[in-house]
Each structure stands twice: as C-alpha cells, then as structure tokens.
C-alpha cells in the first residue's frame, strides 16, 4: 500500500532532525579532516570530533571510526591509545544523531601518496548520487559505483554496502551495494540512506580482524557484577541501540564489564574490518533523503 502524503512529508519533524544532524556532521567532518596530519594523535582527533558534535547540539551516532591503510571500518581508539598518524591512508567515518534521527558521512584523508585511490571512491559517490531518484533500484546505484572505481583501475569492496538509517538504528534496509547486482530494493520518496563507496587496490573483500573497541546493545538482560550493571545502565539510557566505544563507559574496569555483557549475549562487538590481503582502502559517504526529483544530500 502506498504511503500517505503525511507519511512522506519532507517537512516533518523527523526530516528536519535528519537535516539538523547532517548539517552538524558536515561541519564536524571538515573540521576533523583538517586535523589529520602526520604525528597527530588518533585519540585526540576522535575526541575532538565527538566533543565538537556535542558542542553543536548533536550526539555521536557511533564512535568516530579512524581506519588506517588496509582497515575499512570499525576502528576507533582505545582510552589509552597512543597511536599517531603516519604516511598512511586515513578514513574518517563519523555519525551524528538528533533525538535518534541520524546522519552518517565519511571522507578519506590521504597521507600515503595515493590520491587516485581516494579520488576513485569520491567520484563513485558523485556518480551514484546522480542516478538516485524514486523508482531506481539499488543495484543500478551499485553499477555506477563499480563502473567508476573500475575506471580508475581499482576494485570496489563488494562485501561492504551503504544502508538505510532508522530511528535509533544505524543500519537498516535497504542495503546499497558497491557493485552491480541483478536484484535489489527500489528507492522511494522519503527514504533516508547512506551511500558509501569503498575502493581498494586489493581484491575487493574485507574480513574481520581481532581488534574490537566498538559494541552495541544486543538485548535486554540482567547481570550481578557491579561494573557490568553500571555499564549496562549507561548503555541502555545513553546509547540505546546505537554503537558505543569502550572508552565512553564511565564505570571502572570497563573492559571487564564488557566481557561479561558479551559473554551473556547482552552486547555484541564490531571487529575491525580489513582488506583481505592488506591492501589500501578508501571511502567516501553521504547521507541523502530521496525526493520526488532526485535526492537531497544532508551531509554536504
């Protein structure tokens, strides 16, 4: 059944909050990217972005992802992280929410001397945005992304996708593939989606690494341990179902608390995703609202 005019009214409070989140995020993305230089601390950059989001009236939708070289997603500094940027490819993936309505964006800052790889994901996103309109199938968007990245002589990362954004949900349907697929969802007016091409000079697939600093609530539950209980209270009240970093937890022995919660299937982790063969990965991402004549980019 078709949605009513009220349900897709792009002036509604829901869409205004998506726009507000996007406006904050666009500013923070640019300010944060300017701070990425050789010798600068990863933790300093992540905390700058997260604090700046709050200063501007939003909340982080997930911990700032700082992915280096072969890393593609889910890398964020630990509380005592002393890593600094080198001559590397740096992907910043940042999210903002306003009352649970989200915006998601990413940019590559190339310190590695591989500007064409960064340009490939950027131009793939531009091509994808040009074909977005009501009725377009997500596989067609993936075909545009794949065509541009192939044209640069690189491969899209095929087992990572863009995604819908829901209320207090970072990843919802539809998925937006980074390659041509024969079957996909059809975009409709009012859909809010994040399109995020990943390009690599490797084979085009990522796998899970051992490192894990980002978690999210899996289900409601109870635990006897005091630290785990304190952590769970903060998670359910402050983060709800959105991802959070170990370093955000205010309880002492946060890592132990998370191990207990994970063992009880109350939270799940997000292992760092990295290119299969250790090759470089670039990324570019915008959040859009599908409109009657195309799309509105909220994070531009």
42 labelled ligand-binding: no
Tell whether 5 is in a known binding site: no
CA dist 222 and 45 (Å) reads: 35
Count CB-CB contacts under 10 A for residue 15: 18
The answer to whether residue 116 is catalytic is no
Which residue among the candidates 110, 144, 196, 230 is catalytic per the annotation? 196
Q: Of the residues 59, 104, 144, 296, which is catalytic?
A: 104
Please compute, for residue 221, the number of CA atoms within 13 A of its CA located in the half-sphere on the CB side: 20
Q: Is residue 293 annotated as a catalytic residue, yes or no? A: no
Crossing angle of helices 115-131/138-151, nearest 10°?
150
Alpha carbon distances (Å) from 281 to 21, 260, 289: 27, 33, 27
Burial of 167 (0-12, 13-18, 19+ CB in 10 A): middle
Has 171 been labeled as part of a binding site?
A: yes
Catalytic residue among 147, 150, 169, 171: 171
Contact 131, 186 (CB under 8 A): no
Angle at 40 between CA 61 and CA 73, to 5 degrees: 40
The response to whether 126 counts as a known ligand-binding position is: no
State yes or no: is 97 an active-site residue.
Answer: no
Residue 285 marked ligand-binding: yes
Sign of CA dihedral 286, 175, 240, 208: negative
Q: Which of 59, 163, 213, 286 is catalytic?
A: 163
Q: Is 59 annotated as a binding residue?
A: no
Residue 286 annotated among the catalytic residues of the structure:
no
- Could you give the CA distance from residue 280 to residue 199 in angstroms, rounded to a whole number? 8
123 HSE (CA, 13 A, CB side): 14
Is 268 annotated in some ligand binding site? no
- Does 163 qualify as catalytic in the annotation? yes
Q: Closest Cα partner for 275 from 65, 105, 68, 93?
A: 68
Catalytic-labelled residue, pool 88, 146, 201, 285 = 285
Known active-site residue 93: yes
* Active-site residue, from 93, 122, 201, 275: 93
Residue 288 parent element (H or E):
strand 286-291
Task: Establish how many alpha carbons lie within 13 A of residue 195's alpha carbon, considering only the half-sphere containing its beta carbon.
Answer: 33
> Which residues are documented as binding site?
74, 93, 104, 163, 171, 196, 285
Enumerate the active-site residues. 93, 104, 163, 171, 196, 285
> Which residues are documented as binding site for substrate?
74, 171
> Which residues are documented as binding site for a divalent metal cation?
93, 104, 163, 196, 285
């Amino acid at each position: 059944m078709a949605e009513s005019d009220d349900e897709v009214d792009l002036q509604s409070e829901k869409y205004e909050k998506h726009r507000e989140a996007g406006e904050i995020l666009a500013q923070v993305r640019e300010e944060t990217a300017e701070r990425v230089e050789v010798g600068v601390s990863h933790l300093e950059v992540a905390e700058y972005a997260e604090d700046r989001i709050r200063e501007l009236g939003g909340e982080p939708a997930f911990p700032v992802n700082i992915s280096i070289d072969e890393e593609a997603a889910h890398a964020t500094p630990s509380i005592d992280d002393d890593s600094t940027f080198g001559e590397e490819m740096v992907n910043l993936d940042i999210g903002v929410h306003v009352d649970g309505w989200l915006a998601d964006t990413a940019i590559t800052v190339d310190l590695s001397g591989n500007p064409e790889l960064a340009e490939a994901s950027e131009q793939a996103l531009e091509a994808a945005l040009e074909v977005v309109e009501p009725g377009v199938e997500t596989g067609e968007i993936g075909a545009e992304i794949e065509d541009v990245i192939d044209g640069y002589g690189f491969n899209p990362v095929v087992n990572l996708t863009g995604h819908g954004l829901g209320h207090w949900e970072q990843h919802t349907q539809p998925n937006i593939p980074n390659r041509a697929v024969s079957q996909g969802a059809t975009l409709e007016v009012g859909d809010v989606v994040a399109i995020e091409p990943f390009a690599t000079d490797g084979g085009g697939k990522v796998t899970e690494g051992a490192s894990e600093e980002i978690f999210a609530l899996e289900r409601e539950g109870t635990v006897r341990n005091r630290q785990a209980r304190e952590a769970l209270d903060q998670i359910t009240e402050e983060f709800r179902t959105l991802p959070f970093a170990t370093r955000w937890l205010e309880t002492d022995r946060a890592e132990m608390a998370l191990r207990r919660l994970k063992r009880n299937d109350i939270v799940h982790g997000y292992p760092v995703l990295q290119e299969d063969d250790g090759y470089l990965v670039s990324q570019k991402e915008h959040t859009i609202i599908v409109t009657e004549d195309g799309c509105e980019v909220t994070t531009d």
